[in-house]
Structure 1
Amino acid sequence: MARVIERNLRRFNEIVRGRIRKDLKRYVNHGEMLGRKGRETVSIPVPNIDIPHFQHGSKGSGGTGQGEGEVGQPIGSGQDEGDGTGIAGTEPGRHIREVEVSLDELAEILGDELELPNILPKGQDSIQSKKDKYNTISRTGPDSLRHFKRTYKQALKRQISSGTYNPDRPIIIPDREDERYRSWTSVPMPQANAAIIYIMDVSGSMTDEQKELVRIESFWIDTWLRSQYEGVQRRYVVHDAVAHEVDEDTFYRVRESGGTRISSAYEKAVSIISREFPAEEWNIYIFQFSDGDNWGEDSQESTQYLVENLLQVCNLFCYGQVRSPYGSGEFIKDLRKLEADFENLVLSEIDSKEGIYDSIKTFLGKGR
């Protein structure tokens, strides 16, 4: 019986994951998989998998049916689907079941469906560091690491087992075989070797709809990069005419207002990198989201600062421009002039939620 249950469960999981793969683009674009449970899983609504069966009506409610009939027409009571008003009905409805998938599984599905190449970390960051911990006991070692309690305990055990221990005159003299020493093991310590800096324009032209696009896309970017590195550090920058480093919750909830100076965000990103993530030790990713509206004189300063300070140190600099009814959308045109000279600069235009899926593939498809 246990084997049958295990086989059925495995088959059910395969069906569920097949459904997730089939509908992945819809899930990505509309954020239906964003209900995290703890740190390791997300809740995914999937339609029930119904086994065909007969359902009997109430006693005396009907007789034998004759005629052609229509596909989907109920048999028995003859009740049709209602509009939700009136007395309670007896017909079953369609329900949604939630299944849980780990973030690692989700990243694997995402990578397969988008055909994302695995990332090759640069430099020494792909190597785990090791730390020695004194957590074992050895029979050899220097006198400075002699474990006196263990040594005398071993000597006591030896004397008791050999019959030489005298409880009236408890003299315990360890010999060489009794000596025990503190020792160590080398424990691999995964390095937090990837730093992601998210930059979002929160000026007056960015609406809640645009920020929702950023939230959904950032979730999937996080999911993929977490699968490629042992550890990921994230920092968040918001800006209007002035940039601020904020926590994750503030990043997604801050209200929009003010003008726009993109260069202020770039300056803040450089400050964070200089303070916490030296380029020779970290794989640095920057994802910027804006509606492309910028104070006219600042655009040239921004692109120059980007070239001189950020593109030199980033594995990947991704700029996603969301469509806004108020933004000019001009900034991406300035960045397109740089594309040919910098392979680590990737640009994407996100007109609506339907564009998130393709934007993620554009950003992560180079495997940098």
Structure 2
Amino acid sequence: EELQLPRIEPRGQKEVVTERDRYTGIRPVGPNSLRHFKRTFREALKRTIAIGEYNPKNPVVLPIKEDMRYRSWTTVKSPQSNAVVIYMMDVSGSMGDEQKEIVRIESFWINAWLKSQYEGIQTRYIIHDATAREVDEHTFFHTRESGGTMISSAYKLANRIIEDDYPAADWNIYPFHFSDGDNWSVDDTRTCIRLLKEGLVPVANQFSYGQVESPYGSGQFIKDLREHFEVGSEDCNVVCSEIKDKDAIVKSIKEFLGAGR
């Protein structure tokens, strides 16, 4: 089955552009670091033959200043996709080592795939138990923590990051949240739904929630999302995936990336 990747489109007036040098030709002047030895030798050989000094029995060719040739270059501007991917992971006590490992494997491959397909994607990482904090990539993929679960803390932090750094008019926004579906309370779940409806979902190209099966978690949160959002409908940009075990990772990735947003 072929993945239909998200259609990352230009947004707003801003455009992420990188510049790189591309070698485009040869010129007679330049720094030694750009000397083209083959072309220099060719010019020296042509000159030596032209003036009758070339001896096939002693084929020594000594380039002089006029023979030197150097690579020339042009600075090329390359537009990049204006996109940010925000990964959120539940690291609470109900998420066992196996569940966290599944999340890390799936996040790693989603990240690797998107980076291989699109230039200019930025990534941010959030871990949460009862509180949320932003971490670097290494910490996200290696941390071991435990505690209670308050999902709203992650959504609040993600909203803050977007508001501060990624205005929706200029950026394609892809939040991914992974959890075992266990939350602190019904009240916090209500807060999560409000934060999603008023914050993350309206600004995101797609909000992706992956729920890992756990013997310790209630698994309730995905049911709450499906109750409040028309998950699976053409107009809904909320995608949910249930991840039973490691064998379900590929199927889950296809569910997320196959939505084509």
What TM-score do the two structures reach when normalised by structure 2? Answer: 0.72
Can you give the 5+ residue segments of structure 2 that lack an aligned partner in the other structure? 22-72
Q: For the structure 1 residues 130 and 357, does the alpha-carbon distance in structure 2 shift closer, same or farther, using more than 3 Å as the test?
A: closer
Alignment of 1:295-310 (within 5 A): 295-296=184-185, 297-310=187-200
**2:240 alignment counterpart:** 347
**SS of the residue 2:80 aligns to:** coil
The structural deviation recorded for 1:132 is 11
Determine if the alignment matches structure 1 residue 335 to structure 2 residue 222.
Answer: no
Aligned counterparts of 1:331 and 1:195: Cα–Cα separation in 2: 25
SS of 2:230's partner is helix
Paired with 1:299 and 1:123, the residues of 2 have a C-alpha distance of: 34
User: Of residues 94, 98, 113 in structure 2, which corresponds to 1:209?
Assistant: 98
Deviations 1:183-217 (A, max 9, x none): x9663144352211100011110111111101111
Taking a change above 3 Å as real, the CA distance of residues 128 and 267 of structure 1, as seen in their structure-2 partners, is closer
2:207 equivalent to 1:320: no
Larger radius of gyration: 1
Structure 1 vs Structure 2: percent identity of aligned residues? 57
CA contact (8 A) 1:206 1:256 kept: no
- Return the alpha-carbon distance in structure 2 between the equivalents of residues 276 and 246 of structure 1: 16
- Figure out how many residues of one structure are paired with residues of the other and give that number: 207
Structure-1 separation of matches of 2:152 and 2:100 = 20
Q: Would you say 1:364 and 2:253 are equivalent positions?
A: no
d(CA) in 2 for partners of 1:357, 1:269: 26
* Residues 130 and 186 in structure 1, CA contact (< 8 A), matched pair in contact too: no
How far the C-alpha of 1:283 sits from its partner, in A, is 1.2
TM-score (norm 1): 0.52
Task: Give the direction of change, closer, same or farther, for the CA distance of 1:118–1:264 in structure 2 (3 Å limit).
Answer: closer
- The answer to whether the Cα contact below 8 Å between 2:177 and 2:208 also exists between their aligned partners in 1 is yes
5+ residue gaps in structure 1? 1-113, 134-183
* Corresponding residue of 2:42: none
Shift of 1:223: 2.5
| Whole-Å separation in 1 of the counterparts to 2:258 and 2:20 | 39
- RMSD, aligned CA: 2.6
Q: Secondary structure at the match of 2:149?
A: coil
For residue 256 of structure 1, the aligned residue among 115, 123, 145 is: 145
Determine if the alignment matches structure 1 residue 218 to structure 2 residue 107.
yes
- 1:242 matches 2:131: yes
Deviations 1:2-22 (A, max 9, x none): xxxxxxxxxxxxxxxxxxxxx
Secondary structure in structure 2 of the residue aligned to 1:219: helix
Q: For residue 229 of structure 1, report the CA deviation from its aligned partner.
A: 1.7
